[in-house]
Amino acid sequence: MDVLMLSRMQFASTTIFHFFFVPVTIGLSFIIAIMETMYVRKGDEVYKRMAKFWGKLFLVNFAIGVVTGILQEFQFGMNWSDYSRFVGDIFGAPLAIEALLAFFLESTFIGIWIFGWEKVSKKIHLLSIWFVAIGTTLSAFWILAANSFMQHPVGYTINNGRAEMNDFLSLITNGQVLVEFPHTVLGAFATGAFLIIGISAFKLLKKQDTDFFKRSFQIAVIVGVISSIGVAFAGHWQAQYLVKTQPMKMAASEGLWEDSADPAPWTVVASIDPENKMSSHELKVPYVLSFLSYSKFSGSVKGMNTLQSEYEQAYGPGDYIPPVRTTFWSFRIMIAAGMAMIFITLWAIYLMWRKKMDQPNTKFMRICLTGLLLPPIANTAGWTMTEFGRQPWTVFGLLTTDKSVSPNITSGQVLFSLITFNTAYAALLIVLIYLFVKVIKKGPNGVDEESEHSTDPYNTKE
């Protein structure tokens, strides 16, 4: 494989792996802040135990997530030096603010939160976890502001072959970031909620600390249902913006080769044939694509063949159609996972409303446990569609991916770093799983299951 393909594989692996951790950090910090707020307001010690127990998982995830983020940024300088030179002036400001303000905020107050129990007042301690939650969310905003420039460049001028910022306000009010940020952050809240829902369901199935995990489950379900439904609405706004700014990505996500009818039907499934530029065996739902694109049940959507001609006129000869199968199916996987999340949380709300959580359905709890996997699947599929659908552009309309790669590296060097990074990621994943399992087995009381059920009154194993 050539340098470009290997560099793309490395970008995909580092980005996907890093983004397993980011949503968990944002989501857990927010829910822990809610739990500690309930402790301060009600004085109920169980909420304090909740904040401490889920906080342990948050800290493990945060620490490993930081390491994966460093590795990800490292590969930008190695494999994408021409890209880095092109956008360096644009990305400098948001990434510097992210590091100096958002990351500084969360890192500082994490220290107060970890070591401040019983040493600072309850309100100061509560404030610290809210600052951590705000810091993680602000961090996401600045990263997404940079990413949004790649999707929809604004506030720049081209000088000496580089994009240089001439309007910072336009960069941070980019329409792309205004629709991408709520979609991503709400997805992160849902990720944190489903982590708690899944682990709580596991503990409830084993009948361990039932009151503690039932209350954790209920808080997470409320956050989960609001954020899961919110993600769907934010995704709808994002789709409408996509039609205006990246119509080729929208057409590829629909497998739409020719202009659609008016009103446009939404394709549920299809057999995509990129070589012959056609789709077959399509199952379509009338009106839905028009509504998804324009919030009304009328309007045609341009197909890839029309857009290819328009792009050639605007940007010159070339193939501007992204990998259609990947874009099409990743979009549907994201939607399917999101709908499953809404269904599970609504089902849980129904059980809570009917007061059936005292003896929850075993089958439902197993579904909740499996639901742990839904947010990572949705998050990965969503970003796959976002990044694949933009191809062949790294920065839409300005810089193609093949011109972004470092000119002075060899395939062997990239292959070596690819293997090294993925080995490091595998090791980090093992460490994460080990620490998560250890914390979960000990439970909120900090007592290992084996010790908890031991008949040895002196617990000599410890």
Number of neighbouring beta carbons within 10 Å of residue 232: 15
Residue 97 has pLDDT above 80, yes or no: yes
**What is the mean pLDDT of the segment spanning 129-145?**
92
Q: Could you give the CA distance from residue 365 to residue 237 in angstroms, rounded to a whole number?
A: 33
- Going from the C-alpha of 99 to that of each of 72, 129, 139, the distances in angstroms are 15, 19, 8
Band the pLDDT of 454: cuts 50, 70, 90: very low
- Span 337-353, average pLDDT: 94
**Cα-Cα-Cα-Cα dihedral sign, residues 241, 242, 244, 246:** positive
Alpha-carbon distance of 285 to 77, in angstroms, equals 45
Angle formed at CA 122 by CA 119 and CA 126, multiple of 5 degrees: 110
d(CA 182, CA 175): 12
Report whether pLDDT(220) > 80: yes
In 3D, which of 100, 101, 127 has the Cα closest to residue 112? Answer: 127
Query: Mean pLDDT score of the chain, rounded to an integer?
Result: 90
pTM to 2 decimal places: 0.91
**Does the pLDDT at position 451 exceed 80?**
no
Asked if residue 285 has pLDDT above 80, the reply is: yes
What pLDDT, on the 0 to 100 scale, is given for residue 201?
94
pLDDT of residue 77: 79
Percent of the chain with pLDDT strictly greater than 70: 96
Mean pLDDT, residues 395-402 taken together = 94
pLDDT value of residue 192: 96
Question: Nearest-CA neighbor of 280 among 300, 257, 264?
Answer: 257
Model confidence pLDDT, tens digit, residues 253-269: 999 999 999 999 999 99
Closest CA to 442 of 211, 209, 192: 209
Confidence class of residue 98 from pLDDT cuts 50, 70 and 90? confident
pLDDT at 300 over 80: yes
Lookup: tokens for 439: 């914390």
Q: What is the pLDDT of residue 358?
A: 67
Asked if residue 248 has pLDDT above 70, the reply is yes
Contact 68/17 with Cβ under 8 angstroms?
yes
Is 305's pLDDT higher than 50? yes
412-440 per-position pLDDT tens digit? 999 998 999 889 889 999 999 999 999 99
For residue 453, pLDDT over 70 is answered with no
Percent of the chain at pLDDT exceeding 90: 73
CA distance 242 to 179: 10
Angle (CA) 305 308 313, round 5°: 135
Which of 25-34, 199-208, 343-352, 452-461 has the least mean pLDDT? 452-461
Residue 458 pLDDT > 70: no
pLDDT, tens only, 28-83: 999 999 999 999 999 999 999 999 999 999 999 998 888 888 877 778 778 899 99
pLDDT band at 360 (very low <50, low <70, confident <90, very high): low
pLDDT at 455: 41
